[in-house]
């Protein structure tokens, strides 16, 4: 009788499902994956991370191993590959890991990673960004001919997946505009954890922006051009040099360089205004983190930001430095407006909670075919 009770207790605490999730150490997917896996852990999921692209930092590796298990592969990310053939070994490598780790469901954070993937478990492909939608949003054109294989791999990966996820309705529409209708495509808004500390009692008179500024889609040049006309100094946190040789030079704003997540969020808690000038933003995690800290927002007037923040932020014409300067100065010169916009941003941010994100992701897992009928799904 006692042994049966022990077995029952073991079943109650054992992970219900083993999840394979792809990650990279370059952009926002890392934060997305770590926070999502931590939340899913409370629902009985054990995560195995399959890393691709540049190696993670020691701090990133330690974080992943606190959440789950980490395996790193030699294959590049699709947008970093110079030739399509560099990605050819990936399907068999992922399939082998599925077998070795007895995986129950696969969550891929690049749809191209589902291309040619032969596994007998449900596959969910999440589109956080991709080269073809980047070209459509940033330059208003189709992917150049040398990158046609990107369209092929992403389209085939989305067709192969049992369900697909987008971080916003705007990005879902853009993805279907590029690749055509996608079955079981749903929206799971990204989420961010609450700030680690309370916002500063009195915010400081500076403007903060954060992004990978070497990426043309982040539109940092427009904010840099706006800086001479702003009442408050503009500080831009993030890398100026990209992994493929991309470079950006700031002439007017202050470059803060790359910051650890904790450092960036500490600055958000002090900043008088947070700005995101991005013209390609499938969700915009930095804006959400800033809103949670209580910073009033000035955002580029693009479909994603209108969908998520309309009525809770000021908007500027994406390509117009003077428009950004005017919106920033309107807030800088009106303390009452800053206070109202801070409250509205914080209130809106509650929609994008980890709990809501996990509910949407679990719904996608069920749509993909994951069933708990023969397992105990730990709540």
pLDDT tops 60 at residue 378:
no
Residue 222 pLDDT class (50, 70, 90 cuts):
very high
pLDDT tops 70 at residue 52:
yes
pLDDT tops 80 at residue 310:
yes
What pLDDT is stored for residue 148 in this prediction? 92
How much is the average pLDDT of 115-133? 96
- Asked if residue 239 lies in contact with residue 166, where contact means CB atoms within 8 angstroms, the answer is no
CB-side neighbour CA atoms (13 Å) of 157: 28
How much is the average pLDDT of 52-68? 94
Residue 201 pLDDT class (50, 70, 90 cuts):
low
How much is the average pLDDT of 114-138? 96
Residue of 112, 49, 60 lying closest to 86 (CA atoms): 112
Instruction: Give the separation between CA 123 and CA 116, rounded to whole angstroms.
Output: 12
**3-class state of residue 245 by DSSP:** coil
How much is the average pLDDT of 32-56? 95
pLDDT tops 50 at residue 54:
yes
Q: What is the pLDDT of residues 268-279, one digit of tens each?
A: 999 999 999 999
Q: What is the mean pLDDT of the chain?
A: 91
Q: For residue 99, with 0-12 CB atoms within 10 Å meaning exposed, 13-18 middle and 19 or more buried, which class applies?
A: exposed
Q: What is the pLDDT of residues 325-342, one digit of tens each?
A: 999 999 999 999 999 999
What pLDDT is stored for residue 372 in this prediction? 57
- Asked if residue 38 lies in contact with residue 68, where contact means CB atoms within 8 angstroms, the answer is no
How much is the average pLDDT of 72-97? 94
């Amino acid at each position: 009788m006692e042994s049966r009770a022990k077995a029952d207790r073991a079943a109650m605490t054992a992970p219900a499902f083993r999840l394979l999730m792809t990650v990279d150490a370059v952009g926002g997917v890392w934060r997305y994956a770590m926070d999502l896996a931590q939340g899913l852990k409370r629902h009985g999921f054990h995560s195995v991370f399959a890393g691709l692209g540049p190696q993670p930092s020691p701090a990133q590796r330690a974080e992943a191993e606190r959440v789950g298990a980490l395996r790193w592969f030699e294959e590049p990310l699709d947008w970093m590959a110079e030739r399509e053939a560099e990605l050819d070994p990936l399907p068999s490598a992922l399939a082998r890991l599925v077998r070795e780790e007895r995986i129950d469901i696969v969550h891929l954070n690049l749809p191209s990673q589902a291309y040619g993937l032969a596994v007998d478990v449900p596959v969910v492909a999440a589109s956080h960004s991709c080269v073809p939608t980047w070209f459509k949003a940033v330059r208003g054109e189709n992917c150049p001919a040398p990158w046609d294989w990107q369209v092929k791999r992403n389209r085939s990966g989305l067709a192969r997946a049992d369900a697909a996820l987008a971080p916003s309705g705007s990005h879902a529409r853009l993805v279907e505009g590029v690749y055509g209708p996608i079955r079981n495509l749903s929206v799971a808004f990204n989420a961010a954890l609450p700030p680690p500390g309370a916002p500063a009692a009195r915010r400081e008179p500076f403007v903060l922006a954060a992004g990978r500024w070497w990426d043309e889609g982040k539109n940092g040049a427009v904010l840099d051009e706006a800086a001479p006309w702003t009442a408050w100094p503009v500080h831009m946190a993030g890398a100026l040099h990209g992994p493929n040789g991309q470079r950006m030079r700031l002439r007017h704003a202050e470059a803060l360089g790359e910051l650890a997540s904790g450092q960036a969020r500490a600055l958000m808690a002090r900043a008088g205004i947070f700005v995101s000038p991005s013209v390609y933003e499938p969700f915009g995690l930095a804006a959400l983190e800033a809103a949670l800290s209580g910073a009033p927002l000035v955002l580029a007037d693009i479909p994603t930001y209108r969908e998520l923040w309309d009525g809770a932020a000021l908007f500027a014409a994406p390509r117009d430095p003077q428009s950004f300067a005017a919106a920033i100065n309107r807030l800088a010169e009106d303390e009452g407006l800053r206070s109202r916009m801070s409250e509205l941003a914080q209130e809106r941010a509650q929609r994008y909670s980890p709990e809501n994100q996990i509910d949407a992701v679990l719904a996608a897992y069920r749509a993909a075919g994951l069933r708990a009928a023969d397992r105990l799904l730990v709540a």
